[in-house]
Structure 1
Amino acid sequence: MSTTNSIKQAAEAARNKTSEATKALAELDTMAAKQDFLHTPFMRAALPFINGGAGGMVATTVIQPIDMIKVRLQLAGEGARTGPKPTPLSVAREIIAAGKVMDLYTGLSAGLLRQAVYTTARLGFFDTFMNTLTTRAKGNGNQIGFAERAGAGLSAGGLAAMIGNPADLALIRMQSDGLKPIAERKNYTSVIHALRSIAKSEGITALWAGAAPTVVRAMALNFGQLAFFSEAKQRLKDTPLTPRSRTLAASAVAGFFASFFSLPFDFVKTRLQKQQRAPDGTLPYKSMVDCFKKVAKQEGLLRFYRGFGTYYVRIAPHAMVTLIVADYLGFVTK
């Protein structure tokens, strides 16, 4: 009897082990399938774009109120050298007093669309260019230097800016709409409404208004952000810092240089994208160069750096959040 029980127990134990092994194999197969999907040629090419876009959208959601204040600062006192000088706090108080706290998030839909297009493209192109340059350099027994990183950043920024200009234009129009007299406001309800309204009243080509300074700004910003981020990470590689700490430090360095190089172009871009035709059909600024000349003459050279503190507080955390999220997603999906 005891032998029979022993046999039954052994059989049951064998069945349990077989069942556990089957489950383990099934889990391994599922993980392998997921891993194989992530490593398909299509996904390997798409992941830099997906990770970059996700990082940019997270950062924009966090930074949007600061961006709103930055735009209002740039548009204040247009055409006059003297007059009241608004501060970030006074602008914020004015926005809140005129409506409600959520008005600081005006244009968020346009900001998210812009990130979905622009940041997806610029980080995706940058990673793609860097991978190509790295492979080529290794094949020649070399390492890529700052010049290659700068070239990749400039190229990625320019291409992405052309693609994302309509969303960027819609964002500026939505954020500046509240500065107009009530009777002249468009009262855009969403980024789609803004894009349709602009295209209908001004023509499709109007969606690329300010494209020249937008492209130059993007190239300057990417040069400061991506080239210096990549260079700083490389320089910090041999330090005692952990990989996460290196990413944080490199993104802080990148945020400063991105702000410094891009603010004058961002200022001109905002002015050009905000302008609309007068009743006689004329525009305040004829081109990017004309805008630079008129602002320098009428408002002074320092006006191009008005709101640098606000811009830095907007750009640096945005750059840091974007790069950290994208870097983390790149690590997870490696």
Structure 2
Amino acid sequence: MDFLISSVAAVGAVIITNPLDVLKTRLQLQGELKASGEYQKVYKNVLQGAVDTIKAEGIRGLQRGVWPASCYQIVMNGTRLSLYEKLQVNGFLNDSDGKLSSLKCAAGGATVGVLSGFISSPLYMAKVQLQSQADPKLAVGTQHHHQNVFGALRNAVHKGGVLGLYRGAFTSIFRVGIGSGAQLLTYSKCRDALHNAGVCPMNSWSNALAGAMLSGMAVTASMAPFDVLSTRLYNQGVNAQGKGLLYRNLGDCIFKIVKKEGPLALYKGWTAVYLRIGPHSFLCLMFWDILKNLHKDYTRKTKQVA
């Protein structure tokens, strides 16, 4: 049930925020391995990018990749949040005094993030490649021309075997591990502090809202560079042997981006990253709490009737 609750919460959040994820992906691919001034900025900002995408591709253009994004959320956040809930309920995140430990929250969040990030890596790759597919006037980065998520996964296996599905997984582990540790640490500690201070009861919507807002800021600040690196590595074209045409590995990707585009390129699409990750983190955690409380109420009432 924990997995189902976590999955439903994550899918609800991603359906709302996927348009921002599409724009984030394209902003991160714009000007790939080119210095500033050497390329035309197709996407100047989030608002202009959204308007031009709707004009060229229709409303559906902003929901490209929503199916693999939803599947990714089911696997990644379904696994991540349900495992973290188990750790919290069973007291593994508490110190000797029974209070939440910052170190254990961060370590627990990072651990479940690494595991879920690796498992869900193929779906993240499909999501990125489908989101980058655009009208020729708006195309940036490698264009893969997949028909759907199954086509993207089939193509990855065709070119690189089963290992082709996990190209870029190492970067995803860092991305989700760091983001998860920051998110769940700040979310848990903020909610606990507000409850102990008597400001917001633990099960109140205001407590969940405050915790989710803070965690969204922490996630954006900590994982933005890894988000750019993941997008670049997952979206690059590959040769007949399934090897990347632009980047050999994570280190090579960092070196080439910094050398060609400058250090700030690791924060490309920062506004879109925040506008996507902040609301997604907030909505996902809010939905998660609401569904958990509904399930607890239902279970309690069922036991009373029995």
So what's the TM-score if we normalise by structure 2? 0.87
Shift in Å at residue 300 of structure 1? 0.8
Structure of larger gyration radius: 1
Q: Are residues 127 and 100 of structure 1, via their aligned partners in 2, closer, same or farther at CA, if it must alter by over 3 Å? A: same
| The 10-residue stretch of structure 1 (88-97 or 312-321) with the greater mean CA deviation from structure 2 | 88-97
**Of 200, 211, 220, which aligns to 1:250?**
211
In the alignment, which residue of structure 2 is the partner of 1:241? Answer: 200
1:67-146 alignment, distance < 5 Å: 67-83=21-37, 84-85=40-41, 86-134=44-92, 137=95, 141-146=97-102
Q: Specify every segment of 5 or more residues in structure 1 that has no aligned partner in the other structure, as ranges.
A: 1-46
In the alignment, which residue of structure 2 is the partner of 1:168? Answer: 124
CA contact (8 A) 1:213 1:269 kept: yes
3-state secondary structure, aligned to 2:134 = helix
CA contact (8 A) 2:224 2:266 kept: yes
Q: How many residues align?
A: 285
Amino acid of the residue matched to residue 116 of structure 1?
I
Confirm whether residue 149 of structure 1 aligns to residue 105 of structure 2.
yes
Give structure 1 regions of 4+ aligned residues with deviation exceeding 6 angstroms. none
Amino acid of the residue matched to residue 105 of structure 1?
Q
Larger proportion of helix: 1
3-state secondary structure, aligned to 1:91 = helix
Q: Deviations over 1:41-80 (max 9, x none)?
A: xxxxxx2221111110000000010000000000000111
Identity over the aligned pairs, expressed in percent? 27
Amino acid of the residue matched to residue 183 of structure 2?
Q
In the alignment, which residue of structure 2 is the partner of 1:319? Answer: 281
Structure 1 vs Structure 2 CA RMSD: 2.2
3-state secondary structure, aligned to 2:182 = helix
Q: Deviations over 1:265-295 (max 9, x none)?
A: 0100000000112589662111111111111
Q: Deviations over 1:158-205 (max 9, x none)?
A: 000011001000001111233778xx9543232122212221233221
Q: Deviations over 1:113-149 (max 9, x none)?
A: 0011011011011112223334875xx5532311110
**Of 43, 62, 66, which aligns to 2:20?**
66
So what's the TM-score if we normalise by structure 1? 0.80
Shift in Å at residue 299 of structure 1? 0.6
In the alignment, which residue of structure 1 is the partner of 2:301? Answer: none
1:284-299 alignment, distance < 5 Å: 284-299=246-261
Q: Deviations over 1:224-248 (max 9, x none)?
A: 2111100100111123335210110
**Of 151, 172, 181, which aligns to 1:193?**
151
CA contact (8 A) 1:133 1:148 kept: no
In the alignment, which residue of structure 2 is the partner of 1:216? Answer: 174
